[in-house]
Amino acid sequence: MLIRPESPSDISAVYAVNTAAFETPAEADLVDRLRSEVKDVISLVAEDEGSIVGHILFSPMTHAGDSITKLIGLAPMAIHPDHQKKGVGKQLVEAGIRVCREAGYAGIVVLGHPEYYPRFGFQPASRFGLTSEYDVPDEVFMAMELVDGGLANVSGLVRYHALFASV
């Protein structure tokens, strides 16, 4: 399994993985729009024997009260159904965390499964004083620091890019 940055030649395969992994093409369409309209997205693919079998996207977040600290949101992540439960997602998340850290982000936010993401170091975002723009249970809105104290001076509402409203 090779985890690498997405290249332009991967776009149709990434779309196919996202449509296979989700019930509707909304996430695949969101990825296409974020890729073309948002600066500084981080997009990684999982390649197995020459085929794209997984994808993860990170995009910059905005937050109230602090325009200096760089936050990034993980969403969406998609694994082709034929490759789920084989560690592909784990490899994508771990690689994504490394790339986001190297890119200088202070923290990552995710709206996701509370039984999955804590294994990577995510914890309820409320522990950092962060709140979601969405009405979701506390345990599904999570954050992790990428540097010690990276989220110490950040609190309040954090938002994904406005394009997420289309999903």
Kindly indicate the confidence band of residue 65, based on its pLDDT and cuts at 50, 70 and 90: low
Confidence at residue 154, expressed as pLDDT on a 0 to 100 scale: 83
Q: DSSP for 125-153, please give it.
A: GGGGTEEESS---GGGEEEEESSTTTTTT
pTM for this prediction: 0.94
Rounded average pLDDT over 140-151: 95
pLDDT of residue 166: 79
Q: Rounded distance, CA 90 to CA 84, Å? A: 10
What own/partner pairs with CB < 8 Å and gap ≥ 24 does 146-151 have?
A: 146/97, 146/100, 146/101, 146/105, 146/106, 146/107, 146/108, 147/101, 147/106, 150/69, 150/106, 150/107, 151/69, 151/106, 151/107
CB 71 within 8 A of CB 60: yes
Q: Residue 101 belongs to what domain range?
A: 2-166
CATH number at 118 reads 3.40.630.30
Residue 118 in contact with residue 142, Cβ under 8 Å?
yes
* 59 token code pair: 């995009």
At 35-56, the pLDDT tens digits run 999 999 999 999 999 999 999 9
Count the domains in the chain. Answer: 1
